[in-house]
C-alpha cells in the first residue's frame, strides 16, 4: 500500500467513512484502479497522463510495472538516454485479436514474440537485423540410415529459424524420414534443426521450436531414414528467419 492510500485509509478509519464506491473520490481511484483524465484534447498536443520521477533512473530500474495478484505482467524499465525497454511476461494463452484489431504477445514456449491481426492466428515476429526466407526445391530419396546430402544453404550472419519453417518430407513404404541441418564449417548437427515425418507419403512438417544458427556459414541439408529398409523422400524445404 502506498503512502497516499494509507493516508486515505487512516482518515476513513477515524471518521467511519468509505468512499470507494463514489466514482469521483480519491478513494475510488486508489481502490478500484480507475481514473478518467480531464485533460483537454482537440489536437493541441496535450498529454492525458504524465508520470515523472524526481530521481534519475537507469537500466536496472523499472519505470512502470503492471501486475496481477502481485506478479509482474508488463514492465517498462530503464530511464536513461539509451536503456529504455519493455518487458512482457508469457502470453502463450492469449486469444487472437478481434476483427479490425491487432495484438502482440511473448510466447515463452517458442521463445518468440508473436502477432495476431484481424482475427488471424498467431505468427512469429521475424528477428531484427537479419531476416527473410529461403525456399528450396528438391526431388531426392535415400534408403536406409546413411544420410544423403541433398543440398546446402548459406547464411551471411547468425540467424534464428522461426517455427514457420517447414519441410515436405515422408517415406515411400513406412518408417520415419528426417531432414536435418549440419553446419559445414564445424561438421556439427544444428540442435533442433530437423524435421521428421512417419508413415507413407509426403507431409508438410513445421519446425517444433525456433532454432539458432550460430554464425555465418554454409549449412548442409541431409536426408536420412530410421531403419535399413526405410525409403525417405524430400520435395522441398522452406526456411523463415
Of the residues 50, 66, 91, the one at which a domain ends: 50
**Under 8 Å between Cβ of 63 and 50:** no
Band (25; pLDDT cuts 50, 70, 90) = low
Q: Mean pLDDT, the chain, as a whole number?
A: 85
Share of residues in the chain with pLDDT > 90 (%)? 49
* 27 within some domain: yes
* 93 within some domain: no
Sign of the dihedral through C-alpha 69, 71, 74, 80: positive
Q: Which segment of 81-85, 98-102, 171-175 scores lowest on mean pLDDT?
A: 81-85
d(CA 138, CA 202): 13
Domain with 22 in it: 1-50
Tell me: the pLDDT tens digits for 111-148? 788 898 899 888 877 655 556 888 999 999 999 999 99
* 61 within some domain: no
d(CA 56, CA 99): 42
- pLDDT > 90? residue 217: yes
- pLDDT > 70? residue 180: yes
Q: How many CB atoms lie within 10 A of CB 81?
A: 7
pLDDT of amino acid 10 = 66
* 73 within some domain: no
Length of the chain: 241
Tell me: the pLDDT tens digits for 93-111? 999 999 999 999 998 887 7
Of the residues 50, 70, 86, the one at which a domain ends: 50
As for how many domains the chain has, the answer is 2
Higher-scoring residue by pLDDT: 20, 176? 176
Q: Which of 226, 221, 215 is closest to 238 using CA atoms? A: 221
CATH of the domain at 150: 2.60.120.260
* 117 within some domain: no
Angle in degrees, CA 161, 165, 168, rounded to 5: 140
Amino acid at each position: 500500500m502506498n503512502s497516499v492510500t494509507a493516508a486515505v485509509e487512516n482518515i476513513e478509519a477515524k471518521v467511519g467513512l468509505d468512499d470507494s464506491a463514489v466514482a469521483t473520490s480519491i478513494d475510488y481511484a486508489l481502490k478500484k484502479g480507475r481514473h478518467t483524465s480531464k485533460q483537454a484534447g482537440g489536437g493541441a498536443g496535450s498529454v492525458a497522463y504524465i508520470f515523472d520521477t524526481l530521481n534519475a533512473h537507469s537500466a536496472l530500474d523499472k519505470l512502470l510495472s503492471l501486475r496481477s495478484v502481485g506478479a509482474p505482467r508488463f514492465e517498462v524499465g530503464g530511464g536513461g538516454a539509451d536503456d529504455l525497454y519493455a518487458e512482457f511476461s508469457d502470453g502463450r494463452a492469449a486469444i487472437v485479436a478481434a476483427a479490425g484489431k491487432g495484438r502482440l504477445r511473448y510466447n515463452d514456449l517458442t521463445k518468440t514474440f508473436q502477432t495476431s491481426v484481424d482475427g488471424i492466428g498467431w505468427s512469429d515476429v521475424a528477428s531484427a537485423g537479419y531476416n527473410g526466407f529461403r525456399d528450396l526445391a528438391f526431388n531426392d530419396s535415400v534408403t536406409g540410415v546413411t544420410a544423403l546430402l541433398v543440398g546446402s544453404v548459406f547464411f551471411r550472419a547468425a540467424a534464428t529459424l522461426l517455427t514457420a519453417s517447414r519441410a515436405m518430407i515422408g517415406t515411400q513404404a513406412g518408417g520415419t524420414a528426417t531432414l536435418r541441418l549440419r553446419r559445414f564449417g564445424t561438421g556439427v548437427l544444428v540442435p533442433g534443426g530437423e524435421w521428421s515425418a512417419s508413415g507413407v507419403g509426403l507431409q508438410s512438417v513445421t519446425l517444433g521450436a525456433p532454432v539458432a544458427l550460430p554464425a555465418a556459414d554454409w549449412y548442409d541439408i541431409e536426408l536420412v531414414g530410421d531403419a535399413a529398409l526405410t525409403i525417405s523422400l524430400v520435395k522441398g524445404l522452406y526456411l523463415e528467419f
